[in-house]
Amino acid sequence: MITVGTASAEPGEVATGRLEVGEGRDGGTVGLPVAVVNGARDGDRLYLQAASDGDEVNGVGVVSRVLPRLDPTDLAGSVVVVGVVNYHGFLVGEHRNPIDDTKLNRAYPGDHQGTSSERIAAATYALASDADLVVDLHQGSTSRMIEEVRVRCGRRHRLHRECLKLARTFGCGYILDQKGPDGQLARVAPDDGIPTIDPELGGSVGFDDDSIAKGVAGVFNVLRGYGFLEGAVEMEEQTRATGFDQYGAPAGGIVDFRVDLGDRVSRGDPLFTVTDVFGATKARVTADSPGVFWRSRRLPQVASGEYVCSVGTDLDTC
Ligand SMILES: [Zn+2]
């Protein structure tokens, strides 16, 4: 029997319930939605979570599409899922946890007696620590972004090879292999010996069905690739970036992009112009380094110095 919060599943069963993470402002219990899929046969455990950034709902779309297709009688091992991590942010469609104005994916491994975000991080980190593999579903917030998978432990980490293998198995086509900031789940869990990836499923306001489909395929690739389900995974060559250049606006006004997401750019290629509201050009920005046009702001209006776009650089294939 596997019990997570109020969800208990015998081998061959699925159970859903709530994982208590404290109390809300109304004095009632706050519980994250959890699911346990306990396979009929022994095996490893996958921990899957979504919406640790509360506006990143594509991961919730993945979870809601994967769970109905997971038959525990076909499964070896178990899958433990938290469907919404940043509970308070998700309720109001915000990126950060509004209770403490914190980005939850900087609070790992968390603290059971700490702030709201630290408590949620601690409760979910306990599930991650019990797993053999961790998949933390994200997206480029509400910006526009390609689908990619992040490896955040750093290339010198003892688990780097395993994290990279997990990213290749998930298989979005692109990997960003760059050490992440302190407090990220995908940075912290490898220190405890657990291969972890952070798939970034595009960027959207609300659901993006194409990004969700890539996430669903990625989860099933992991389940097959690591022996939870029968069947082979066709490993496809991934484009890996180990550098990530961010571009800001040299002038305020309206951004006009000269490249599309996923385009290859060379040094000196035009990335975007900034015009005034009457269309007169104020600035032209070109690529500093060759790479892939990775992410861009959604709204066209920018202030001087404000974020505009990112290019994944130092490319190879893996
Ligand atoms: Zn995120």
- Write the pLDDT tens digit of every residue in 31-57: 999 999 999 999 999 999 999 999 999
pLDDT of residue 280: 98
pLDDT of residue 4: 98
Q: Give 170's pLDDT tier (boundaries 50, 70, 90).
A: very high
What residues contact residue 299 under an 8 Å CB cut-off, 6+ apart? Answer: none
Q: How far apart are CA 166 and CA 58, in angstroms?
A: 20
Sort strands 196-201 and 239-248 into parallel, antiparallel or unpaired. Answer: unpaired
pLDDT of residue 204: 97
Q: How far is the CA of 10 from the centre of ligand 1 (A)?
A: 33
Q: How far is the CA of 137 from the centre of ligand 1 (A)?
A: 8
Q: How far is the CA of 273 from the centre of ligand 1 (A)?
A: 28
Beta strands in 69-182 (DSSP E): 76-82, 133-137, 144-145, 147-151, 174-177
Q: How far is the CA of 279 from the centre of ligand 1 (A)?
A: 34
Q: How far is the CA of 233 from the centre of ligand 1 (A)?
A: 26
Q: How far is the CA of 52 from the centre of ligand 1 (A)?
A: 7
Q: How far is the CA of 59 from the centre of ligand 1 (A)?
A: 10
Q: Give 97's pLDDT tier (boundaries 50, 70, 90).
A: very high
Q: Are the C-beta atoms of 154 and 160 separated by less than 8 Å? A: yes
- Write the pLDDT tens digit of every residue in 72-90: 999 999 999 999 999 999 9
- Write the pLDDT tens digit of every residue in 302-318: 999 999 999 999 999 99
Question: How many residues in the chain?
Answer: 318
Q: Are the C-beta atoms of 78 and 38 separated by less than 8 Å? A: yes
What residues contact residue 5 under an 8 Å CB cut-off, 6+ apart? Answer: 17, 18, 19, 20, 31, 32, 34
Q: How far is the CA of 56 from the centre of ligand 1 (A)?
A: 6
pLDDT of residue 254: 98
Distances (CA, A) of 317 to 151, 173, 175, 239: 14, 10, 9, 5
Q: How far is the CA of 268 from the centre of ligand 1 (A)?
A: 30
Residue 68, preceding peptide bond in cis (omega within 30° of 0): no
Q: Are the C-beta atoms of 141 and 148 separated by less than 8 Å? A: no
Q: How far is the CA of 138 from the centre of ligand 1 (A)?
A: 4
Q: Are the C-beta atoms of 207 and 142 separated by less than 8 Å? A: no
Q: How far is the CA of 283 from the centre of ligand 1 (A)?
A: 31
Give the orientation angle of helix 160-170 with respect to helix 209-225, to 10 degrees. Answer: 120
Q: Which residue has the tokens 């509004």?
A: 98
- Write the pLDDT tens digit of every residue in 200-232: 999 999 999 999 999 999 999 999 999 999 999
Q: Are the C-beta atoms of 15 and 7 separated by less than 8 Å? A: yes
pLDDT of residue 241: 98
